[in-house]
Amino acid sequence: MADPDVRGAYERHVNPTFSKLLGLLGYGRVWVKGEGTRLYDDAGKSYVDFLAGFGATNLGHNHPGLHRAIADALSASPVHVCHTGPTPHEAALGERLSRSAGAPFEIAMVSSSGAEAVEAAIKVARAATRRTGTLYCKGGFHGLSLGTLSIMGAPRLRGPFEPLLGNTAAVPFGDVAALREALASKKFAAFVVEPIQAEAGVILPPPGYFAAARELCSKFGTQLVFDEVQTGVGRTGTLYSFQHDGITPDVLVLAKALGGGIVPVGATLCSRELHQRAYGSLDRFDSHGSTFAGNALACAAAIATLDIVEREQLAERAARMGTLLVDSLRARLDGHPLVRGIRGRGLLIGVELGTAATGALRSVAARLTELAPSVGRLSPPPFVGQWISVRLLEAGVVCQPTAHEWDVLKVEPPLTISEAEIATFVDTLGTILDGYRSAAAILKDVGVRMASRGVKGWAW
């Protein structure tokens, strides 16, 4: 039973609709502790984390080495906010990021979130090229600020806030011909793209796509921006995902795991030449920044995170464990009528669920939503992925569908996950899916659950 004081305060003062939604199927928990690969609720129950804060806790929760680095930084009484000159921590982080990413990334613009870091990439590209257009991919997810919503690949999320930033256009992910046609207009300052479309269902690019994108961006004068907010810092089996693709973008965007899952920090890396073109004059040197960008605590956390990933070889571990996880999932779920595909790279894996009865799922889900008007419209309506995530939670596993495709489970544990925990996850998911050989079986259980929750007023 969730702590009523926490639940009530959250519902009254933070996000009332989300709180009600958590009660819809029985997903509500109050999370009070994180340690390694484990989360704990206020009832003392332990859960193995296969979500990792949407990729923020690559080190696991509360890594002791990161705690020590943060404590050491604070004990020195550093200057946290000062924009009248350089501070040691920000200078050290800039150097460390440059060394980790290699040439040509000599300049690091530090920020406090992934959306900020993406907007910094758009700004530097526009300022350097003197163009105003931004190209992005359908299905992309780059943040929820007004600027990043302008290159959001999900109409549901961007629609309520339009009109957004002008001169943006979308192309299908992986379509070289469409990319060539768009870039040939020479109106785009930046092509902003994820190496893997995590929230669109863990979609990998076709072979050769990014090599072609690199060539086309260079040919038509557009800056190639890799949004590695979710794929970076070891997640996909290399420190940065662009290293797997064998090409180098003009701008590299990082956040989430860069702060070790403890301190918010983002970074936008580019070449000295690009930064000079954008901000190298006396009337432009201060055209980008924010109050808490480069604060000592965030910088110390980011440096320590990069050191831990390197020292513990977590990128290499992600590659090894990811192969084990994909192979194990495929072996356990082979032939299951609800499993459409398993794909991924490193420890960013998608398990696509669904049946030919998806249309029926949509219509019935819409009807179920009508039974819970206080929760508001649920969109998109399919319940397969969400229901399986509820069942996993009840079995002691935290996992969620992707943001755009609710029937794709995004399997994204900390990079410290063990072989035993992988085996437990695969067996747990397999056992749950063994009980559902058709959409009808899921719909029956969802209906029964929603009816019982409705009697309780959707309370946790």
Q: Global pTM?
A: 0.93
- Mean pLDDT to the nearest integer, 210-219: 98
Give the gyration radius of the chain's Cα atoms: 22
- Peptide bond connecting 163 to the previous residue in cis, omega within 30 degrees of 0: yes
Residue with tokens 């029956």: 444
pLDDT of residue 2: 58
| Sign of the four-CA dihedral 104, 106, 109, 111 | positive
The pLDDT of residue 458 is above 80: no
- Distance from C-alpha of 421 to C-alpha of 426, rounded to nearest angstrom: 9
Strands 348-353 vs 339-345: parallel, antiparallel or unpaired: antiparallel
The tens digit of pLDDT for each residue in 370-380 reads 444 444 333 33
Residue with tokens 């256009």: 169
The neighbouring-strand residues paired with 410 are 350, 400
pLDDT of residue 377: 38
- Mean pLDDT to the nearest integer, 143-171: 94
| Start-to-end C-alpha separation, the chain | 7
Q: What 8-state DSSP symbol labels residue 58?
A: T
pLDDT of residue 172: 98
Which of 241, 236, 424 lies closest to 329 in space, CA to CA? 424
Q: What is the CATH number of domain 64-311?
A: 3.40.640.10
Q: What is the DSSP string of 3-48?
A: -HHHHHHHHHHT-HHHHHHHHHTT----EEEEEBTEEEETT--EEE
The tens digit of pLDDT for each residue in 270-312 reads 999 999 999 999 989 888 989 999 999 999 999 999 999 999 9
Residue with tokens 């961006």: 217
The pLDDT of residue 435 is above 80: yes
Mutual angle of helices 64-75 and 296-311, in 10-degree steps: 150
Helix or strand or coil: residue 212?
helix
- Distance from C-alpha of 336 to C-alpha of 321, rounded to nearest angstrom: 23
- Mean pLDDT to the nearest integer, 257-264: 97
**Residue 215 — φ and ψ, nearest 5°?**
-65, -45
CA distances to 49, 228, 302, 452 from 299, in Å: 26, 18, 5, 48
Mutual angle of helices 419-434 and 384-394, in 10-degree steps: 120
pLDDT of residue 153: 87
Q: How many other CB atoms are there within 10 angstroms of residue 362's CB atom?
A: 14
Mutual angle of helices 439-455 and 16-24, in 10-degree steps: 120
Top pLDDT among 237 and 289 is at 237
CATH 3.90.1150.10 corresponds to the domain 23-55+313-455: yes
Q: How many other CB atoms are there within 10 angstroms of residue 5's CB atom?
A: 10
The tens digit of pLDDT for each residue in 94-118 reads 999 999 999 999 999 999 999 999 9
Domain boundaries, the chain: 23-55+313-455, 64-311
Mean pLDDT check: name the lowest of 14-28, 113-127, 169-183, 222-236: 14-28
- Mean pLDDT to the nearest integer, 423-442: 93
pLDDT of residue 20: 85
**Residue 286 — φ and ψ, nearest 5°?**
-110, 25
Average pLDDT, the chain: 92
Mean pLDDT check: name the lowest of 105-119, 248-262, 309-323, 356-370: 356-370
Encode 113-139: b = buried (16+ Cβ within 10 Å), e = exposed. bbbbbbbbbbbbbbbbbebebbbbbbb
Contact 362, 381 (CB under 8 A): yes
- DSSP helix, strand, coil percent of the chain (3-state; round to 5): 45, 15, 40
Which of 418, 389, 420 lies closest to 406 in space, CA to CA? 389
